[in-house]
Amino acid sequence: MEKNLLHREELDLNDDVRELVILIRKQCSESKSVIGKEESKLRNKVVSVVEGIKNEIVPDKSNLAEIFSRLKIRDSSSCIAEIEALQEEIHNRCDEQSKSEIVALIGLVRFAKCVLFGASTPSSSTENQWWKQPSEVVVPTDFRCPISLELMQDPVVVATGQTYDRDSIKLWIDSGHNTCPKTGQTLAHTEVIPNHALKNMIILWCREQKIHFVVESVSRKTGTRLTNKVALEATKMMASFLVNKLKFHVNISVSNTIELNDIVYELRVLAKTDSEIRTYIAEAGAIPHLVRYLSFETGLQNPSLQVHVITTILNLSIQEANKAMIMDTDGTLNGVIEVLVSGATWEAKANAAATVFSLTGVVAYRRRLGKMTRVVSGLIQLARCGPEDARRDALAAILNLAGDRETVVRLVEGGVVEMAVDAMAVLPEEAITILEAVVRRGGLVAVAAAYVGIRKLGCVLREGSEMARESAAATLVTMCRKGGSEILAELAAISGVERVIWELIAVGTVRGRRKAATLLMILRRWMAGLDGAESEQFTTTISSSTTLAVAQ
């Protein structure tokens, strides 16, 4: 190809510019290649391995070992350090092509870490001392998801302009809701828009607070996902490698317990990364092998293994197709319930409850799970006695179960109303939302059981959050309509209740104002002697039901 060159002599340059040109030429002629021959060969080997993975060719282990030895990556911890450095580098790149290439390298390092140095669980070393958990610091309200109340990992905006964590709002919509959880408004559409500005603020805050923020590898962006082809294939190879190793472990023994922990932990991490990987892990046959370690005996011998197994199943259950596999694989559902009821740690029980919550996103599974006494009793017991995070997971699962009218009867019989009344002191929004759902579908028996909580509902009307006040007003409207004079008399006896209702009418959410207006109308009609027809029927119900509630 012909080159067109501009000669210095032909240009009318002043002396200063001429000197600069001469200096630049001299510097360029003296500069040496940044990459030497050996480095160039090594780079070509890496490129060759990457291309092979792209074509679904499993890298030769000895070749891989040689490459990583020359890169001075010789153990699991140095692999982790390299992965973190590459993830950090992603944020410093602007173009999608270079980001995609880095994602490919991350996939290669993860695969090599697993194959060459063995799977590894988190150590109690400097890394764990350095990073904090979100629960150890006060998370700003704007950074918490209004549904889960947890630090948002992927904030998105819905049609009403409210921001939620992607997974939480997806579960809400997939459960059949068409309203905004925070405002109660009907969603014009169910599309969500990533809130990049807020996510960047959360990432910066996490770095300042030394909180480990999991950044998904350029995922959910068009064209790159977890994963360009290389990263996806490398991760699939890693999943297949781990599942095959898991098949050879038929029981827990002193000799293999550490390796088992490591294998399952790596599967747990993989199952959290991407929908395609979740599908691949399940299709590779992981679930039947994981089920073996959900037993009570496993919890006694190896509590951490039980936690890793139930969390892996939870992560797999996020994928819709995997839900059916979990429900249909022999022993899996019973294993999840066993962990829910008698898990060795609160974390294991909480993740079992979260698994139930995930599965109840499918209506048919919700009804099936709701018919199981151990599921109902296990969730209620966890919601009553567990630590706050575990109680929140249990309450979320109970709320999903309460979407089925037949299940509500079993929930009421199991003491869900009394539990929700008690939980108002700790998790008012979740507890009152459950109470609202149960009272609405549970009939007079549920209303009678909730009678002892009227004054607590009055306190929430006065001091609760917007969502809690809205649910409290809706619950009281249902109770007053179904319960009649006994309920109204108890409500009217609360000091300043009318003023509190008026305040909600003035400043509450759209739904909260509407419910408060209805409540005030019912209360004033009763005070005027226009409404008391149901009181005799309710008195009979309450005389037997509240005694039972106190006895529990």
What does the pLDDT profile of the chain (552 residues) look like in tens digits? 444 555 555 566 666 666 776 777 666 655 555 566 888 888 888 888 888 888 888 888 888 888 888 888 888 888 888 887 887 777 666 677 777 888 888 888 888 888 888 766 554 443 444 455 666 678 888 898 988 888 888 899 999 999 999 988 988 888 778 889 888 888 988 889 988 888 878 887 887 777 766 554 434 433 334 446 788 888 888 888 888 888 876 555 544 667 788 889 989 988 887 788 899 999 999 999 999 999 998 888 889 999 999 999 999 999 888 999 999 999 999 999 999 999 999 999 999 999 999 999 899 999 999 999 999 999 999 999 999 999 999 999 999 999 888 999 999 999 999 999 999 988 998 999 999 999 988 888 888 888 989 999 999 999 888 888 999 999 999 999 888 888 899 999 999 999 999 999 998 889 999 999 999 999 999 988 765 444 434 443 444 443 333 232
pLDDT of residue 438: 92
pLDDT of residue 341: 95
Contact 358, 399 (CB under 8 A): no
Counting Cα atoms < 13 Å in the Cβ hemisphere of 129 gives 3
pLDDT of residue 92: 66
Strand, helix or coil for residue 319: coil
pLDDT of residue 125: 41
Instruction: Please give the Cα distance from 244 to 252 (Å, whole number).
Output: 17
Q: Tokens in use for 319?
A: 């994928």
Q: Tokens in use for 206?
A: 């996490």
End-to-end CA distance of the chain: 91
Sort 447 into a burial class: Cβ within 10 Å, 0-12 / 13-18 / 19+.
buried
Where residue 132 falls (left for φ over 0; alpha for ψ -120 to 50; beta otherwise) is beta
pLDDT of residue 544: 41
Instruction: Please give the Cα distance from 414 to 410 (Å, whole number).
Output: 6
Calculate helix-pair angle for 303-317, 346-359, nearest 10 degrees. Answer: 20
